[in-house]
């Protein structure tokens, strides 16, 4: 009903705007008086978690992209090899898992059949399973060894938004927790990262406060039927995939996400005069990542692409190649998905609205897919 939407036209839009709170709620109470990250729900002993020699993340849809972000963070922080796989592929290919494997499963609903089958298979092989889930008492957390709940509140829009963002947050927390108990990172470093995480709700709010130009772009682009491309590198790559997925799900546009560095190995052939391309630019830092993405933008611009560039505020290197610039608040590379995904969600929501689609109930899709 209108009352439940609290003045928003769609649940999805309401949920996009709830993200600062959803992220803050998911972070609540994770830091103890003893100066440690606490994840009380993870009832697997530290001894056992120290023995883990491989992590496998399984999920579907947006949750899978959250898992891709997690892989970058978890390997960086813990130095434990981490794979991420689509739940529907994992189950049927005889994956190598054993009691030393930690399986992390991510599911907003906790009822997705592909994901459930994947964890049943993992547990048959005696792997330990931690679920990241937004729904209390759902089947997937019940069938897991432990669960970290995201505190996004009910998500009604079929296309995941606050569900996705809080999954990413829960993955960061789990990664840092594993780093802590495995002694890879100590007190100050973890505290600094938790502090930075705690600064993210305000940054997400700032992105939302400045969303109008993104809406204007969406309304303009609703008039043509061009395919839309999304590029990113490192954790910006799953953000690009998620941006494309939102557009497919609710705007029914042909949209594709690419790893920016892979473009030259094929996909650049489809870029032509006027092709809209969103590019997620990593923060300027010590590594060369930022400059590599800037040169990727140059390449596509030279072939006539219309570039919509998401870059850190104050990033002057990109402005020359951006037909439109969307500024993102400053943060470290690994945490950037929390701000970079938001304009892409809002863009899809507004474009689908302008096209007259039912944003909350897109054709052919279900909120939770309980068949394999
Ligand atoms: C469905 C939804 C997607 C969602 C996926 C995984 O396909 O339409 O938005 O990302 O399921 O859902 P889950 O509840 O397991 O996170």
Which residue's CA lies nearest to atom 5 of ligand 1? 61
Checking if the pLDDT of 185 tops 80, the result is: no
Read off the DSSP letter of residue 369.
Answer: -
The predicted model scores a pTM of: 0.96
- The residues that are catalytic are 367
Checking if the pLDDT of 161 tops 90, the result is: yes
Q: Where are the alpha helices (DSSP H) in 306-355?
A: 337-354
365 lines ligand 1 (CB under 6 A): yes
210 burial (CB, 10 Å; 0-12 / 13-18 / 19+) is: middle
Ligand 1 pocket test, candidate residues 108, 132, 361, most atoms within 8 A of CB: 108
Confidence of residue 178 (pLDDT cuts 50, 70, 90): very high
**The predicted structure's pLDDT at residue 370:** 83
| Each residue's pLDDT tens digit, 321-341 | 999 999 999 999 999 999 999
Q: Give me the mean pLDDT over the 184-211 stretch.
A: 92
Checking if the pLDDT of 241 tops 80, the result is: yes
CA 245 to ligand 1 center in whole angstroms: 11
Pairwise pLDDT comparison (105 vs 223), residue with the higher score: 105
Read off the DSSP letter of residue 358.
Answer: -
First to last CA, the chain: 31
CA distances from 191 to 71, 80, 285 (A): 21, 21, 21
Q: Is 201 helix (H, G, I), strand (E, B) or coil?
A: helix
Checking if the pLDDT of 184 tops 80, the result is: no
In percent, the amount of the chain with pLDDT more than 70 equals 99
Neighbours of 2 (CB within 10 A): 8
Q: Which residues contact 7 (CB under 8 A, 6 or more apart)?
A: none
**The predicted structure's pLDDT at residue 35:** 84
Residue with tokens 């990033």: 315
Which residue's CA lies nearest to atom 15 of ligand 1? 107
194 lines ligand 1 (CB under 6 A): no
Ligand 1 pocket test, candidate residues 369, 370, 371, most atoms within 8 A of CB: 369
- What is the spatial distance between Cα 61 and Cα 247, in angstroms, rounded to a whole number? 13
324 lines ligand 1 (CB under 6 A): no
26, 309, 156, 28: CA torsion to nearest 10: 10
Checking if the pLDDT of 286 tops 80, the result is: no
Least confident interval from 68-82, 137-151, 185-199, 211-225: 185-199
């Amino acid at each position: 009903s209108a009352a439940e939407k609290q003045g928003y036209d769609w649940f999805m839009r309401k949920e996009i705007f709830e993200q600062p709170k959803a992220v803050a709620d998911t972070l609540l109470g994770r830091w103890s008086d003893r100066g440690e990250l606490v994840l009380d729900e993870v009832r697997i002993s530290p001894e056992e978690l120290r023995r883990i020699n491989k992590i496998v993340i399984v999920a579907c849809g947006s949750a899978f992209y959250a898992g891709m972000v997690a892989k970058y963070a978890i390997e960086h922080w813990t130095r434990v090899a981490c794979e991420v796989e689509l739940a529907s592929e994992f189950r049927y290919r005889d994956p190598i898992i054993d009691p030393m494997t930690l399986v992390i499963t991510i599911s907003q609903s906790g009822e997705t059949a592909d994901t459930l089958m994947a964890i049943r298979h993992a547990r048959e092989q005696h792997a330990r399973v931690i679920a990241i889930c937004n729904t209390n008492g759902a089947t997937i957390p019940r069938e897991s060894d432990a669960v970290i709940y995201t505190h996004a509140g009910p998500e009604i829009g079929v296309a995941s938004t606050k569900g996705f963002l809080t999954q990413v947050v829960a993955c960061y927390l789990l990664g840092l927790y594993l780093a802590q108990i495995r002694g890879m990172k100590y007190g100050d470093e973890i505290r600094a990262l938790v502090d930075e995480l705690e600064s993210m709700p305000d940054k997400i709010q700032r992105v939302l406060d400045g969303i109008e130009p993104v809406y204007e772009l969406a309304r303009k682009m609703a008039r043509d039927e061009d395919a839309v491309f999304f590029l990113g590198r490192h954790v910006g790559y799953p953000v690009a995939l998620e941006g494309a997925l939102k557009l497919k799900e609710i705007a029914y546009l042909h949209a594709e996400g690419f790893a920016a560095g892979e473009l030259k190995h094929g996909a650049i052939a489809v870029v032509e005069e006027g092709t809209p391309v969103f590019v997620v630019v990593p923060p300027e830092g010590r590594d060369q990542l930022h400059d590599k993405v800037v040169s990727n933008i140059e390449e596509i611009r030279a072939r006539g692409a219309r570039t919509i560039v998401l870059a850190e505020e104050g990033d002057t290197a990109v402005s020359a190649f951006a037909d439109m610039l969307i500024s993102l608040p400053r943060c470290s590379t690994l945490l950037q998905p929390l701000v970079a995904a938001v304009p892409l969600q809002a863009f899809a929501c507004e474009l689908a609205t302008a096209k007259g689609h039912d944003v909350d109930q897109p054709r052919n899709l279900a909120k939770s897919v309980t068949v394999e």
